[in-house]
Chain A
Amino acid sequence: MIPLHSVCAMLETYITAYNNAVFDTDRDAALQVIAQALAAGHTPEEIVFELVIPAVEEMMAQLSRDLDANLAQHFMTAQIAAEVTEKMLEQFKQPPKTLGRVVIGTARGDLHSLGKRIVMGCLKTLMVEVRDLGVNVPAERFVEEAVAFDAQVIAISSMMVHTANGEQGCRKVRRLLREQQLENRFRVVVGGAPFRFDEQLYQAVGADDWAADGVSAGKVILRQIRELSP
């Protein structure tokens, strides 16, 4: 049997190699590292919990420190991590414990799905169950699906001002939650370009929180889930 500390040390080198590949937005190289770790006898559970998740967390820290961090890196971090996690989960001996549930979609009138996709990738990797409601989602549907899925968080993405700040998006979701007395049950988190320009906008539209990029979206949403169900 390999002593525990050397398993950790080995995983360390994989984490570094994996992160370097992701940082360089090199998907093939990242997947190769995962294949090597599997071949070396690491279980799918180890790969997810001791390699991919720490790697995403490390990337979060790295990207938030690095003033030059770019969209391609955020996209690849989320993309590769979600891809690997999904593959590994199929091979888990027992289904993992999920940390919470989120419904996500783009606001009514908005067909821009990239931001949502990045956020979803990060959430999946963090063991949050995500139901994707797609694009151009009416406020009513956000609420209905959140109830049906027993979600803790409603996540709304908008790329344009009229879908972020308009009457049919988050503002309406908030109004419906109030009318249906569901405000204690769900948190609303928003994101997308307009919220990055005006950092107070999330409050004006009635959201509980917002995040500037996909990797911090993961953190913010997890925090909201934990506050609701400690």
Chain B
Amino acid sequence: MMTSMEIVRAALQGNPAPRIPIFCNLLDQGAPELGMSQAEYYARGEHVACGQLALRTRYGYDNLWSLFYVGREAELLGCQEILFAEDGTPNVADYFLRTAKDIESFTIPEDITRHPVWQESARCLQVLRQESKGRFPICAYLTASTTLPALLMGMDKWLELALSGPDHLRAQLLGKCSEFFRKQVAAYREAGADLLLYSSPFGSSSFVGMRRFRAFSLPWMQRDLTGLGVEDLIYYCGTAPINPVIGEVMQHLGLRVFYPSPKDDLAVTKALVAGNGLTCGVIDDISMISWTPEQTRAEVERLCHIGMPGEHFLLGTAVMPMAVPEANIQAYMEAAFTFGSYR
């Protein structure tokens, strides 16, 4: 029998496999799974690893996450406060870049792996690797330079700086964020992550339009990625649409794995990526809160029907909200095994 890792590899390379790979991104569900508060759960890398392993065992999907929550990257760089919630994701509560001076003076640590925040992530990866023994791909989440400032200064301040300048300040900030991104890539690979989700909402034309995508986002993404090798990278815009940019991302960045928005037309995504890479079909897990299990099943069937011809296909979720009923997660998994079978 093929392992999850082998099934994912087969999908990437277009080799035969008994079924499609099935991703299910459960993050905050780990704390209740272990009977902990969110703050307690996220305080230790072991907890997150155990939560991930327990959830995967319960539902049987293919991937494991080393991501705690997206605000971790801000913590590595100086954010001092995270707001926890029992019914949802932790949030950055301290946007520590407040003034131009802050932007000029903040620095990227020489060695990010010495930071206590990183060490918990490394511990999580270590446990995941030990327990997974190469059977399940371990995913990591990394924010692109053009989006990271949203976590450091708040999205509205960042959008203002990104669109209106001053140019030198914007370039300085982006340069630092890009340097940080590259250090994280190296650190995650070193720690054993198999797939790196390149989170780049500003790399969606629905954020900045095509003209700015070319003039601003693309060059900075090139700078993020030059010389790093992109085989293990997944292009993801936070579930903002990506169809209009796929061609240029492939051509200029060499990326081959695309994680679109549930609002992207999957048939178009599939046609654009074709046999040159891996298309992910992403279910709208916000609607899953109110769907019935039958509706969930029907949507999985629809996505598989569009995505599976020609193989090179993976089924996944966005960031599954805690409010999605258990019955719908079960329905998603059962339907994925049924309709995702190539036999």
Contact = CB atoms under 8 A, between A and B. Distances in A.
Interface of A: 25, 27-28, 68, 70-73, 75-76, 79, 109-114, 117, 136, 160-163, 165-167, 194, 197-198, 200-201, 204
Given A71-B206, A198-B286, 15 more contacts: A68-B210, A72-B163, A75-B159, A109-B88, A111-B93, A161-B321, A162-B88, A162-B321, A163-B85, A166-B85, A166-B323, A194-B321, A197-B263, A198-B289, A204-B290
Closest 4 CB pairs of A and B: A162-B88, A161-B321, A197-B286, A114-B155
A197 B159 contact: no
B113 interface: no
Contacts of A117: 156
A162 B89 contact: yes
21 contacts: A27-B163, A68-B210, A70-B205, A70-B208, A70-B209, A71-B208, A76-B163, A111-B93, A160-B89, A160-B91, A161-B286, A161-B321, A161-B322, A163-B85, A166-B88, A167-B87, A197-B262, A197-B284, A197-B286, A198-B284, A198-B287
Interface residues of B, number: 33
Contact of A165 (B92, B155, B156, B289): B289
A71 B85 CA distance: 28
A165 B290 CA distance: 11
A73 B212 CA distance: 11
A57 B244 CA distance: 27
Contacts of A79: 160
Q: What secondary structure prevails in chain A residues at the interface with B?
A: helix
B262 A163 contact: no
Nearest to A25: B163
A111 B83 contact: yes
A27 B165 CA distance: 10
A152 B93 CA distance: 30
